[in-house]
Amino acid sequence: MIILIILLVLILAYYLLMWPKSTIFGYYPYGIRTREKIMALSFDDGPNPPDTSELLAVLEKHQVRATFFVVGKNLEKFPETGKAIVAAGHTLGNHAYNHNFFTYFVHPSLKTEIIKTQEIIKKITGQTPALFRSPWLIRHPSLLKAVKAAGLTPISGIFGTQKEVWQVNYQIILRDALQKIHPGRILIFHDGFDTKGGDRSQTVKAIDLFITAAKAQGYKFVTVNELLEIPAYQSTL
């Protein structure tokens, strides 16, 4: 009985705090309602060369623009890759600084993480993001308040596949992602792994084939800000 209660509590906690479609604490869009065949590709946890650079090459080949939610600590390590993302016309968003799970339940810490990453992105790219995605899609009142105070819009999305974290074969990633195709959806993939870097070569291969397959179905890709019709960056005026 105790095990069942614990399990139910964990399920409820996930639904409230981490489920991609949960909006119980406020606006946290995972897409739009539309019949138009458009989607937004987004990538978390970079920059992470060489995988991010190879992903940029794939996107350029297909003439697709995507949205990269970068970890501040990673951007400090690889500033040139961050600059390349912006120079290629992709949108760059805030994905916090340390990507540490427990940080995002402590209000002063999460506020510091958000602001610090904003400053790093501004210093390196010259742009101040208007989009934020919290690690693990965590959302709660304090976090959303801190996001709003920083002039950011929180962004959710649907994971292309939950198996991506283990970097399974690209064919598995592709198969799962193809099942997530839907008009107006924001899809989440990863070009890094927390602040640990990681091999994301299978994701890169899968994305190459995924774009081809989605386009064959009549889909086109836009950035998250274009999909939601909101600014990508904060005004400097």
Q: Residue 2: pLDDT above 90?
A: no
Name the percent of the chain lying above pLDDT 70: 90
Is 167 buried (19+), middle (13-18) or exposed (0-12) by CB count in 10 A? middle
Select from 87, 105, 188 the least CA-distant residue to 141.
105
More confident residue, 8 or 117: 117
Query: CB neighbours of 211 closer than 8 A, spacing ≥ 6?
Result: 41, 58, 59, 62, 64, 221
d(CA 72, CA 78): 10
Q: Provide mean pLDDT across the span 116-123.
A: 97
Q: Residue 27: pLDDT above 70?
A: yes
Supply 35's token pair: 């019949």
User: So what's the pLDDT on residue 115?
Assistant: 95
Q: Which of 5-14, 36-45, 57-66 has the lowest mean pLDDT?
A: 5-14
DSSP 8-state secondary structure symbol assigned to residue 98:
S
User: So what's the pLDDT on residue 99?
Assistant: 83
User: So what's the pLDDT on residue 204?
Assistant: 98
pLDDT in tens, 53-66: 999 999 999 999 99
Q: Which conformational region is residue 194 in: left (phi greater than 0), alpha (psi within -120 to 50 degrees), or beta?
A: left
pLDDT in tens, 104-116: 666 667 889 999 9
Q: Distance from first CA to last CA of the chain, Å, rounded?
A: 59
Q: Provide mean pLDDT across the span 32-59.
A: 98
DSSP 8-state secondary structure symbol assigned to residue 143:
H
Q: Provide mean pLDDT across the span 121-130.
A: 97
Residue with tokens 């179905």: 217
What does each C-alpha distance from 190 to 144, 166, 187 come to in angstroms? 23, 11, 10
Mean pLDDT of all residues belonging to the chain: 92
pTM of this prediction exceeds 0.85: yes
Select from 189, 157, 151, 133 the least CA-distant residue to 29.
157
Q: Provide mean pLDDT across the span 92-110.
A: 81
The amino acid present at 149, given as its one-letter code, is A
More confident residue, 17 or 83: 83
CATH 3.40.1000.10 holds for 2-228: no
Q: Residue 12: pLDDT above 70?
A: no
